[in-house]
Homo-oligomer: A and B are copies of this chain.
Amino acid sequence: MPRSSPTLVRAIENPCAIIRSLGVLTDTWTFLLVREALLGTQTFAQFRDSLGIASDVLTARLASLVEHGVMERTPYQEPGQRTRDAYHLTPAGEDLKTVLVAMQQWGHAHVPQDPELRVVPLTVEGHRRVRAELVDPAGRVVAPEAVRFMRTAPRPAPMEA
C-alpha cells in the first residue's frame, strides 16, 4: 500500500486510526495470515503450504505481525526434530475478527462469486453464525444508513491525511 501513498506520514503513526490499522495489515498476505491463524494454522510450514506463499515473503510478514503485536512466537519441539517456532494470535490479533468478518461480509454481499462462504464465523458454544454489525451503546444493532461519520476536530493538513 505505501507505494501509492508517498505523501502520507508513516502509517502506524498516522492520526487516522484506519490508516494505522492499514500500517499493520499492509497487504493481502497479512489478511490471509490472520485468517489462517484464526483457522488454527500455527507453524511456518503450515502457513506456507496452505497459502502457497514464498518463504521470504512469509518470513517478513510473520516478523511484521509479531513486531506489531498481532502474533506471538513460541518455540516448540517435536520428538527427534530441532526446535521450531509456532505462531499464535495475541488478544490484539484475536480482536481482528471483527475486521475480517466485516470484510468477508462485504465481499460476499457486494463482489459476489461463490454462493457459499468456505470459512464462516461461528460462536464457539452453539455454533451460531455471527455477523459484524454497527451497535449503539444500548447494544442495539443500527443499520449502516442510520450512521454517519462526524469530525470532532479540525480537518488535519493533507500530509497527515
Contact = CB atoms under 8 A, between A and B. Distances in A.
Interface of A: 1-5, 7-8, 11-25, 27-29, 31-32, 35, 38-39, 49-53, 57, 68-70, 91-92, 94-111, 113-114, 116-125, 127-142, 144-153, 155-159, 161
A52 B158 contact: yes
Contacts of A134: 97-98, 101, 121, 130-133
A118 B12 contact: no
Interface of A, secondary structure class, is: mixed
Nearest to A39: B149
A128 B134 CA distance: 11
Given A15-B118, A28-B8, A149-B119, A20 B107 contact: yes
Copies of the polypeptide in the assembly: 2
A18 to B, nearest CB: 5
A17 B158 contact: no
Given A52-B159, A120-B149, 17 more contacts: A4-B27, A4-B57, A15-B118, A95-B110, A98-B105, A98-B106, A98-B133, A101-B102, A116-B153, A119-B152, A120-B150, A121-B134, A123-B136, A123-B142, A130-B134, A132-B132, A133-B133
A69 B129 CA distance: 27
A19 B135 contact: no
